[in-house]
Amino acid sequence: MAKNVLHIISSPRGAASITRKLGDAIVAKIKEKYPDSVVKERDLATEVFPHLDELQIGAWFAPADARTPEQARVIKISDEAIREMQEADIYVIGAPFYNFGIPSTLKAYLDHVTRPGITFRYNEQGQPEGFLKNKTAYIAAASSGVYSAGPAQHFDHVSPYLTFILGFLGITDVSYIRAEGLRLPGVRETAFEKGILSISIA
Ligand SMILES: Cc1cc2nc3c(=O)[nH]c(=O)nc-3n(C[C@H](O)[C@H](O)[C@H](O)COP(=O)(O)O)c2cc1C
């Protein structure tokens, strides 16, 4: 079976990036399991999404046929990113820990794809409903510290946020592959290898 895979990269460190290497390894495992898969890369470090501004938000809420030329121009970046997300079956999302959260480039991207009426809505009962259904996400996370267990666990604002916002969009099958403790003596020596060995594709 072939899958459409969207690999979202948020580290600006190119080939040196641990999350990119981990993401590439996850993609390779997906291709082993689903050989005819098509992989698309979205590099958020080279194609930076702007912060949401009045023009972009105004464009979202204007009826399509009433948008100004400027609104019609800027909304394309959001439309295109959403189309890619809709087309993908599997997401591989690189998530370096930056100040205990995700990089702002990834947050800006998520702000562009979290769009009322398009990727989610609140139903008649006021409950949120995500429209990106039957998708799987693998998060390639990297950090100097260890957050999956131990005393720093509650400083992890990466996995609670990503699990929540992806679930809000309908993506409830989310797994984490972590290379953690990259700066901790006694842990760092095997941190990347441990991440690689923990990859398991459903
Ligand atoms: C600006 C910045 C902030 C960081 N903040 C944290 C942090 O809060 N916690 C942590 O454990 N590591 C932190 N790190 C370390 C990175 O998570 C680690 O170097 C990781 O490998 C970066 O991902 P990359 O290799 O894909 O670029 C930070 C690194 C940078 C550059």
Distance of alpha carbon 139 from alpha carbon 141, whole angstroms: 6
The pocket around ligand 1, CB under 6 angstroms, is made up of 11, 13, 17-20, 96-100, 142-145, 182
Contact (Cβ atoms closer than 8 angstroms) between residue 6 and residue 88: yes
Task: Tell how far the Cα of 192 is from the centroid of ligand 1, in angstroms.
Answer: 14
* pLDDT for res 1: 82
* pLDDT for res 202: 87
Contact (Cβ atoms closer than 8 angstroms) between residue 184 and residue 144: yes
For the chain, residues with pLDDT lower than 50 are none
Contact (Cβ atoms closer than 8 angstroms) between residue 39 and residue 58: no
* pLDDT for res 67: 98
Ligand 1 atom showing the smallest separation from residue 13 Cα: 27
Structural domain spans, the chain: 4-197
Ligand 1 atom showing the smallest separation from residue 101 Cα: 8
The residue whose CA has the least distance to atom 23 of ligand 1 is 96
Distance of alpha carbon 126 from alpha carbon 153, whole angstroms: 32
Q: Distance from CA of residue 197 to its chain's centroid?
A: 21
User: Each residue of 144-167: pLDDT tens digit?
Assistant: 999 999 999 999 999 999 999 999
User: What would the CATH number be for the domain defined by 4-197?
Assistant: 3.40.50.360
Task: Tell how far the Cα of 144 is from the centroid of ligand 1, in angstroms.
Answer: 6
